């Protein structure tokens, strides 16, 4: 509005200046229409008359225009204020009014205080729970301490009596059980032996016959109480438990078996004893049994099969799966394998899939360290790997039949004979001799 007003004033001033100058040069007559008139005076309907007429009203009109301009500006300001008020009124129903700054801080402070109080209540509740748990634990420990005090009291009373050695270890020693028997021992039990190259003596179970023949036992399976799924070091050092009455399961240790079987120019005979879940027994004997050193991974070797109704499973067995079954399941010349040290002829790990250490080929026909299956019969679905992983001797019972009892023991070849014990095993085995093979 101010810019329009000033433009109008400039135009009006230009018209008046032009008209005034032009009219001063004209003489009023009928030709230029400038005549004297009582009503208008010296005016004529030309720009000259309009200019003079407007010149008389210029000052008054200018004042009015300035007044109206100020009034319009005031109306504009009032309109802006009114618009702001209306907008505020429209927002009253859509969001809560903004609290004055002086009230906001105390309200927020109160909210913070409530939040802190809630947090403190939670902490107190949690602490009460922990205190209750600690109290319960204290009560439990107090009860246990009371029981322990009673046991200590009983033990203290027992300690007043002289100690009794319930495990009898015989005094005689030798390089093997046969040498101990040669010195006069006639009772089976626990003895210390020290093979020629051994650095120190170690405990073994000696099975001594009335005739004076003595077997050194290095493996025993009876009831599945010992897990034979062990690593290389455990099979090297031995595991399980020795007992005077030979009522426990154990593996004497590959290093000890190596030292015993290689110490003399007189070779040893290996006897494998088996018992099924019907009480039938059988044996398999091997001449010139030896176990190599750890550098040769405790390789199994023997000269030939001496006999026994259990059959020669170490020579392999034809399961009917492949023409090469017998060749790939023979054990003579095989190195020892465990789950962590694989020395078999198979692309995989026989010891790992069958769950125990043994002289694996690809993989076995006789495996006396396998998994102990109650009642003997098992199937592929029972084996984690789907393979025959039981305590098997395929030339006497099916590979899906796991033995109840087994033992492995050695004797010098010059003391080996068809003893009464061997005759007893042979007699017992005839009942089930027709059940050999993989059936």
Both 85 and 201 in one domain: the answer is no
Q: Examine the domain organization and report whether 221 and 358 are in the same domain.
A: yes
Domain of 85 in residue numbering reads as 2-91
Residue partners of 201: CB distance under 8 A and separation at least 6 = 173, 192, 193, 194
- pTM exceeds 0.75: no
Using the 3D structure, point to which of 91, 118, 153 is the last residue of a domain.
91
Kindly indicate the confidence band of residue 46, based on its pLDDT and cuts at 50, 70 and 90: low
Do 182 and 80 lie in a common domain?
Answer: no
Query: 330 and 312 in contact (C-beta within 8 Å)?
Result: no
Same domain? 70 vs 206: no
In 3D space, the residue among 378, 334, 341 whose CA is nearest the CA of residue 356 turns out to be 341
Residue 237 near residue 364, CB atoms below 8 Å: no
Question: Is 33 inside a domain boundary?
Answer: yes
Does any domain span residue 29?
Answer: yes
Residue 312 has a pLDDT of 98
Q: Which residue has the higher pLDDT, 422 or 108?
A: 108
323-359 burial code (b ≥16 CB/10 A, e <16): eebeebbbbbebbbbbbebebbeeeebbbbbbbbbbb
Q: Does residue 261 sit in the same domain as residue 397?
A: yes
Q: Quick one: pLDDT at residue 31?
A: 54
Residues 202 and 296 in one domain: yes
User: What distance, in Å, lies between the first and last C-alpha atoms of the chain?
Assistant: 118
Nearest to 354 by CA among 271, 230, 235: 230
52/184 same-domain check: no
Closest CA to 186 of 209, 218, 169: 209
Do 188 and 337 lie in a common domain? yes
pLDDT of residue 3 exceeding 50, the answer is: no
- Token pair listed for 257: 């078996």
pLDDT class of 68 with cuts at 50, 70, 90? confident
Measured in whole angstroms, the distance separating CA 156 from the mean position of its chain's CA atoms is 45
The structural domain count of the chain equals 2
User: Residue 106, exposed/middle/buried by CB under 10 A (0-12, 13-18, 19+)?
Assistant: exposed
Within a domain: residue 270?
yes
- Based on the fold, state whether residues 362 and 238 are members of the same structural domain: yes
* 232, 365: one domain: yes
Burial class (CB in 10 A: 0-12, 13-18, 19+), 102: exposed
Does 224 lie in the same domain as 336? yes
Domain with residue 357: its CATH number is 3.90.215.10
Tell me the β-bridge partners of 204.
191
> Is 136 contained in some domain?
no
The residue that leads in pLDDT, 5 or 343, is 343
E-only strand ranges, 112-201: 169-174, 189-193
Q: For residue 206, what pLDDT is reported?
A: 98
Residue 21 lies in a domain: yes
Please identify, among 38, 73, 91, the residue that sits at the C-terminal boundary of a domain. 91
pLDDT of residue 289: 98
pLDDT (tens digit per residue) in 83-134: 776 666 666 555 555 545 545 577 777 777 778 778 777 877 877 787 888 8
- 207 lies in the same domain as 334: yes
- Domain end position, chosen among 55, 75, 91: 91
State residue 430's pLDDT score.
42
Asked whether residue 28 is assigned to any structural domain, the reply reads yes
Of 344, 370, 367, give the one whose Cα is nearest residue 356. Answer: 370
For residue 119, is it within any domain?
no
Assigned domain for 127 exists: no
């Amino acid at each position: 509005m101010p810019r329009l007003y000033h433009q109008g004033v400039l135009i009006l001033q230009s018209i008046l200046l032009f008209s005034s100058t032009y009219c001063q040069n004209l003489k009023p007559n009928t030709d230029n229409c400038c005549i004297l008139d009582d009503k208008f005076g010296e005016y004529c309907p030309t720009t000259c008359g309009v200019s003079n007429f407007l010149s008389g009203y210029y000052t008054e009109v200018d004042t009015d225009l300035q007044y109206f301009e100020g009034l319009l500006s005031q109306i504009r300001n009032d309109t802006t204020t009114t618009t702001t008020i209306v907008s505020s009124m429209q927002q009253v129903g859509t969001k809560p009014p903004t609290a004055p700054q002086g009230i906001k801080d105390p309200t927020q402070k109160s909210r913070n205080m409530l939040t802190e109080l809630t947090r403190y209540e939670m902490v107190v509740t949690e602490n009460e729970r922990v205190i209750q748990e600690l109290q319960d634990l204290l009560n439990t420990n107090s009860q246990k301490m009371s029981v322990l005090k009673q046991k200590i009291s009983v033990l203290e009373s027992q300690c007043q009596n002289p100690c009794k050695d319930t495990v009898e270890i015989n005094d005689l020693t030798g390089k093997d059980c046969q040498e101990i028997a040669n010195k006069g021992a006639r009772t089976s039990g626990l003895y210390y032996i020290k093979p020629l190259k051994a650095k120190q003596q170690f405990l073994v179970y000696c099975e001594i016959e009335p005739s004076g023949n003595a077997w050194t036992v290095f493996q025993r399976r009876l009831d599945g109480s010992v897990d034979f799924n062990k690593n290389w070091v455990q099979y090297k050092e031995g595991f399980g438990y020795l007992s005077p009455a030979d009522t426990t399961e154990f593996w004497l240790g590959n290093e000890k078996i190596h030292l015993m079987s290689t110490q003399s120019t007189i070779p040893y005979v290996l006897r494998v004893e088996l018992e099924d879940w019907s009480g039938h027994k059988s044996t398999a004997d091997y001449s010139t049994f030896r176990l190599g050193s750890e550098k040769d991974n405790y390789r199994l070797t023997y000269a030939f099969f001496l006999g026994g109704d259990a059959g020669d499973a170490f020579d392999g067995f034809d399961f009917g799966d492949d023409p090469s079954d017998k060749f790939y399941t023979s054990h003579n010349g095989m190195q020892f394998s465990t789950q962590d040290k694989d020395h078999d002829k198979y692309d995989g790990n026989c010891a790992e899939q069958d769950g125990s250490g043994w002289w694996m080929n690809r993989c076995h026909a006789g495996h006396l360290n396998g998994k102990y299956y109650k009642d003997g019969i098992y199937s592929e679905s029972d084996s984690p790997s789907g393979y025959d992983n039981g305590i098997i001797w395929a030339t006497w019972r099916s590979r899906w039949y796991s033995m109840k009892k087994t033992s492995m023991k050695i004797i010098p070849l010059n003391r080996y004979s068809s003893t009464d014990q061997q005759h007893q095993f042979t007699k017992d085995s005839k009942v089930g001799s027709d059940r050999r093979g993989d059936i």
